[in-house]
Amino acid sequence: MILVNYIACIILIVLGFYVILTKKNILKIIIGMGLIDYGINLLIISIGFNPGGTAPIFTFTELKPESFFVDPVPQALTLTSIVIGACVTAMALSLVIKIKEKYGTLDADKVRRLNG
Amino acid sequence: MVVLKYLFNVLVFPGLLFSALVGLLLSGLDRKVVARMQKRIGPPIIQPIYDFFKLLGKETIVPRAASRRTFLYAPVIGLLALVTVTLFIPIYKYTAISTVADIIVILYLLTIPAVALIMGGAASGSPYAGVGISREMVAIISYELPLVIVLLTIGKHVGMALNKGVITFSLSQIVSYQAEFGPMITNWRLIPAALALLLIIPIKVGSLPFDIAEAEIEICEGPLVEYSGAPLAIFKLNHAIKMFIMTSLFVTLFLSGKGTGILILDIVLQVLLSAVIVVISISTLKAITARLKVEQVLKFFWTYPTALALISLILVWIGR
Amino acid sequence: MQHFPILSIVTLFLGAFLTVIFGSKNETVRKFIALVASSISLILVLMLIKPVMIKNNVIQYWLGNWRPIHDWAIGIGLEVDALGLFFGIIAVLTIFLSIIFSFKYTKKDSETDKYYVLFLMLSGAVLGLVFTGDLFNMFVMIEIMTFAAVGLTAFRNYQEGALEAAFKYLVLGSIGSSMVLAGTITIYSQVHTLNMAQISALLFNNLTPSALFAFALLLAGFSLKAFVVPFHPAAPDAYMSAPSSVSMAFSGMVNKAGVYAIIRLVYVLFHAMDFKSVQILLIIIGTITMFIGVTMALAQNDFKRLLAFHSISQIGYVITAVGVSTALGLTAGLYHALNHTLFKGLLFLTAGAIFYATGTTDLNKLGGLARKMPQTAAIFLIGAFSISGLPPFNGFVSKWLVYQATFQANLAPVTIIALLVSVMTLASFIKVAQSIFFGQMPKEFENVKEVPLSMRIPMWIMAILCVITGVLPNIVTKYLVSPAVTAALNIGKYIDLMMGNGYSEKILGKPIEIPAVDFTLAGYWDPIAWLVLFALLLIAVTIVAVAGGFNAVSLPTEVDDPKYDVFFSGEASEHSHVKGNDLFWGLKHDLRHYFGFMHDAHSGIINDYALWAIFTTTIFIVYIFLLVP
């Protein structure tokens, strides 16, 4: 329950949406997609936090009923999500390379041959 | 025994022979009345029967650019659908087949002849036919909306009285409602719906002022331009049977009732009332109006008949 | 039996990996691997029909054998109930037929090994999505599906617009997946578990504001995957640019995965279908989708783009029927989903055949192909009459059930709009038939031949299935659709498997009985109808024989006589084919303000499309906070 974290991730997500909605250069749109992903990753980590808990790494003998650790599941989810974010960015960038070769421009107002 | 009875129903009465005969007579009557209204003498009433037999004797020419099988089968499929519809329309107390959902069957079977005309026109490969089928499709879009609303209105009205509030789709139930309470047209709530249906009949039958599909002067007969001989005869027969079905449907929905009890007199009464409706809705409009343009047809049908039918629907809905 | 679901998913992924290793040089090896993988999946899923649908079990499988401890789930579980299996059957049938079609279809493409890899991954992801019982696993499968779909959309990158369509799909799909992830995390913070059965049990009567927020986000995210209207603009671009066997998979599987996720979300996870406001929301979205889909489709000039807009419109039917939330409505929705896969897949394969034979799908350039490709024309007509709802094909049965369901729920305006949409669907397919198959043939298509046999077989199989599901609705409903409806409305069995028997009865009460669907209101199928039909067919054959239709000798057309030319009012005949833009100009003129507005709104700029998506999500969030208690 860290208020600063939550406010930070809301700001990141809203900024990401703002970039996707208003910027015309395709590369900036990809950066906006990345911002949304990182904002959500921060949200995932912050949800699993228990104040005063330690890292959830124990051997069998150390684990007692009164051990208090942060939730390990969101950390696994965050790892998956970071990997997915990296893959999305890679695919988007490869598409941008081919678009630049074919259309000659990176302006979203001109990459619009399919419309109506 | 049952097989023979159904074959009799399909082939003689009320199937192929009866509806063909009455349909051709009605279309002849229509031509005669229009001619008299225009101070001419006009052809004899049995002229369409002569036309039908004349066309059967002519040569069938299939143009080079046509797709043969679709071209030849299209009119026959239209005829099949129409003959099936005639089996479902009750003549006072008599029906050949009565199911619990007559109106739905009739509604979907009635789109098939229009689609058959479109397919026949498309298969003929002529540009006049291409323009004609696009106009026919616009006509179908125009009349489908008010027609559905009218049928829903009547079904809901009868259902609220006889079917515990659930909408009914059975024509025999509608006839028995009218036998009990008098013809539907005497109910003031349903008069707008009757007016809407009177306006829908000309466009469904394809007569002025709404016959944009077969506009003789503008597009040389439209989808039928390449037809000749026996297929053309079947299309003209379809046109005549459609006239009989639509007016008979109007009579059953709005002017039906107890009848006389004797089958032959009932049939004569139904045919006479159909003839009256033909004169009122088809001939009168044909004699005094010119053809509308394509855009005007769509605008007309989606405003006036739809508004009339919706007024009826709202009156029926809040009337209980 | 327990292992069949996971085996069917893993076979497809394994097929993808084996194609990378062994298939990159040899054409036959990679086709063989693809065929074997999809057939094994098909057989395994079909063998699951008997235990799950007929005997009403729910199959559960824990990955890695991590069973729950003290009734708390710690591993990822697959739970296959009748609803999931229904969509699984649809998916696996589409995969199999699409792979057979793509053997010859990708003949002229280079690097088809990457095509098969991506396609098998797409298939595995869709099957994983419908069979899984874990919410985060659903998110991962959605992501795999989006990647594979983007890769396949951009596959023919020499084609006009393929790259930009893939980019738009990627950006919009990424926004959708982010919303799904945000919703999942918000739910997790509430109940601390990710297993769907457990979430359903813990959220019963327990809807806190954060659960409502998660519901809105998940609904928006899944609606974007299903391409419901304000989220739809990436769909026509993507369906148009992808190769046709892939477009068939998109409209057959990927759309349905979104619909399945919405049903699972609203019916099972949140028990939200008892709230009138959620029903109204789904019905409004569904109706708008239906109407905008079909009116945009009337004005298109490219065959595949027209088909894509029709896909969107038919999904509107499904969402409306699901939103009515009675047993009849849900039956109508699921039956229409099955029918949509069949006839829309058929139409996309026809588009693929036309593209293979002529090299273009532009309606303004084709014409008169029915004489050269008669089988394709017949199959196209079957598909077109199915989608318009003419009897005796399958579209009529499911559309009639939708009309009945909405009219019995006192929603007369929705019924009227649905009927109008059906007529306009017929109009746009008449336009396509006249533009492509009938009429006069341009000179450059003289040498067009019928497509090869391996492309025709999947088309005929789908056409026969269209007719069968139309003629035998009772059997299809009893064995396939009603178990799925029961599984969606009575989630007791689904929860019991996790929380121990008897838990759901205490919480939810007795299970709801599903009455058998009565088809007599459709005016359908009693023995009298068969007799009448037989008599009528006798008349038909006689008439055609009399008209000389069977005897080619009596109607010669190869003779070079001017009476067999097309009538041109006495002038010289030239090529003047009425097609494409020329048709329906009256209708387009009447509604020109509406069409102009819609054409400008679909501007092709990605920022606009993202604006629609985010605006609609905001409306969902505000609506659900205000109206759902």
pLDDT > 70: percent of chain C: 90
pLDDT > 90: percent of chain B: 17
Mean of the pLDDT values across residues B46-73? 85
Nearest C-alpha in C relative to B55? C547
> Token pair of C56, please?
């009403």
Residues of C with Cβ-Cβ distance to B134 under 8 angstroms:
430-431, 434, 578, 582-586
CA dihedral C161, C164, C170, C175 (to 10 degrees): -120
Distance from C556 to chain B by nearest Cα, in Å? Answer: 8
Say how far apart CA C34 and CA C32 lie, in whole Å.
Answer: 5
Q: Best interface-test mutation with C: which of B3, B4, B10 has the largest number of C CBs within 10 A?
A: B10
Choose among B3, B6, B141: nearest Cβ to C423: B141
* Confidence at residue C511, expressed as pLDDT on a 0 to 100 scale: 61
> Token pair of B62, please?
């299939």
Instruction: Name the nearest CA neighbour of C435 among C331, C583, C230.
Output: C583
Residue A109 contacts C where some CB pair is shorter than 8 Å: yes
Distance from C104 to chain B by nearest Cα, in Å? Answer: 28
Cβ–Cβ below 8 Å for C586 and B220: no
Distance from C403 to chain B by nearest Cα, in Å? Answer: 11
pLDDT in tens, A51-85: 877 787 877 777 777 778 888 889 899 999 999 99
* Confidence at residue C523, expressed as pLDDT on a 0 to 100 scale: 47
Say how far apart CA C123 and CA C246 lie, in whole Å.
Answer: 11
Report residue C509's pLDDT band, with 50, 70 and 90 as the boundaries. low
pLDDT in tens, C315-370: 999 999 999 878 888 889 999 999 999 999 999 999 999 999 988 888 888 888 88
Beta strands in C74-197 (DSSP E): 77-80
Of the listed ranges B81-90, B95-104, C75-84, C96-105, the least confidently predicted one is B95-104
Cβ–Cβ below 8 Å for A20 and C607: yes
DSSP C428: H
Nearest C-alpha in B relative to C575? B127
Angle, alpha carbons C266-C270-C274 (nearest 5°): 75
> Token pair of A2, please?
């860290």
pLDDT in tens, C555-606: 555 666 777 777 777 676 677 777 777 788 878 888 889 989 988 888 888 8
Say how far apart CA B317 and CA B157 lie, in whole Å.
Answer: 8
Write out the residue range of the structural domain in which residue A22 sits: 3-53+67-103
Say how far apart CA C71 and CA C73 lie, in whole Å.
Answer: 6
Say how far apart CA C317 and CA C286 lie, in whole Å.
Answer: 6
Buried b (16+ CB within 10 A) or exposed e, C63-99: eeeeebeeeebeebbbbbbbbbbbbbbbbbbbbbbbb
Residues of C with Cβ-Cβ distance to B119 under 8 angstroms:
433
Beta bridge partners of C60: C79
Distance from C351 to chain B by nearest Cα, in Å? Answer: 19
pLDDT in tens, C444-478: 888 888 888 888 899 999 999 998 888 888 788 88
pLDDT in tens, C383-420: 999 998 887 788 888 888 888 888 778 788 898 899 88
Q: Bigger pLDDT: B282 or C568?
A: B282
Q: Best interface-test mutation with A: which of C69, C145, C146, C174 has the largest number of A CBs within 10 A?
A: C174
Average pLDDT, chain B: 85
Q: Bigger pLDDT: B190 or C582?
A: B190
CA dihedral C130, C134, C137, C141 (to 10 degrees): 10
Is C38:C103 a contact under the CB 8 Å cutoff? no
Residue A58 falls inside a structural domain:
no
Cβ–Cβ below 8 Å for C150 and A91: yes
pLDDT at residue C480 is higher than 90: no
Residues of A with Cβ-Cβ distance to C164 under 8 angstroms:
99, 103, 111-114
Cβ–Cβ below 8 Å for A24 and C610: no
Cβ–Cβ below 8 Å for B115 and C557: no
Say how far apart CA C276 and CA C278 lie, in whole Å.
Answer: 6
The ipTM value here is 0.94
* Confidence at residue C556, expressed as pLDDT on a 0 to 100 scale: 57
What length does chain C have?
629
User: How many domains does chain A contain in total?
Assistant: 1
Instruction: Name the nearest CA neighbour of C339 among C392, C381, C395.
Output: C395
Residue A97 contacts C where some CB pair is shorter than 8 Å: no
* Confidence at residue A37, expressed as pLDDT on a 0 to 100 scale: 93
pLDDT in tens, A16-39: 999 999 999 999 999 999 999 999
Q: Bigger pLDDT: C433 or B257?
A: C433
pLDDT at residue B185 is higher than 50: yes
Residue A115 falls inside a structural domain:
no
Residue A108 falls inside a structural domain:
no
Residues of A with Cβ-Cβ distance to C178 under 8 angstroms:
36-37, 40
CB neighbour class for B263 (10 Å; exposed up to 12, middle 13-18, buried from 19): middle
Say how far apart CA A54 and CA A49 lie, in whole Å.
Answer: 10
Cβ–Cβ below 8 Å for C368 and B118: no
Distance from B276 to chain C by nearest Cα, in Å? Answer: 30
Cβ–Cβ below 8 Å for C603 and A115: yes
Say how far apart CA C513 and CA C143 lie, in whole Å.
Answer: 37
> Token pair of C322, please?
């699901």
Q: How many CB pairs under 8 A join A and C?
A: 112
pLDDT > 70: percent of chain B: 95
pLDDT in tens, C123-164: 999 999 999 888 999 999 999 999 999 999 998 888 888 898
CB neighbour class for C42 (10 Å; exposed up to 12, middle 13-18, buried from 19): middle
Residue A111 falls inside a structural domain:
no
DSSP letter string over B263-296?
HHHHHHHHHHHHHHHIIIIIIHHHHH--PPPHHH
Distance from C370 to chain B by nearest Cα, in Å? Answer: 7
Q: Please tell me the pTM assigned to this model.
A: 0.91
Is B274:B241 a contact under the CB 8 Å cutoff? no
Q: Helix-strand-coil percent breakdown of chain C, rounded to 5?
A: 75, 0, 25
Residue A60 falls inside a structural domain:
no
Say how far apart CA C84 and CA C87 lie, in whole Å.
Answer: 5
Average pLDDT, chain C: 85
DSSP 3-state of C517: coil
Angle, alpha carbons B141-C340-C263 (nearest 5°): 115
Residues of C with Cβ-Cβ distance to B83 under 8 angstroms:
536, 539
Residues of B with Cβ-Cβ distance to C528 under 8 angstroms:
6, 97
Nearest C-alpha in B relative to C369? B67
> Token pair of C454, please?
């391996």
Q: Best interface-test mutation with A: which of C185, C298, C302, C588 has the largest number of A CBs within 10 A?
A: C185
Q: Best interface-test mutation with B: which of C382, C533, C536 has the largest number of B CBs within 10 A?
A: C536
Residue A43 falls inside a structural domain:
yes
Residues of C with Cβ-Cβ distance to B131 under 8 angstroms:
578, 582
Q: Are chains A and B touching, using the cut-off of 8 Å on CB pairs and a minimum of 3 such pairs?
A: no
Q: Best interface-test mutation with C: which of B8, B76, B89 has the largest number of C CBs within 10 A?
A: B76
Q: Is the dihedral of CA C168, C174, C180, C186 positive or negative?
A: negative
pLDDT at residue C166 is higher than 90: yes
Q: B7-11, C155-159, C307-311, C323-327: which has the highest mean pLDDT? A: C307-311
Q: Which phi and psi angles does A2 have, rounded to 5°?
A: -100, 115
* Confidence at residue C527, expressed as pLDDT on a 0 to 100 scale: 52
Contacting chains of B (3 CB pairs or more, <8 Å) are: C
Cβ–Cβ below 8 Å for C427 and B141: yes
* Confidence at residue C521, expressed as pLDDT on a 0 to 100 scale: 52
CATH of the domain at A44: 1.10.287.3510
Omega cis (within 30) before A65: no
Buried b (16+ CB within 10 A) or exposed e, B43-55: eebeebbebbeeb
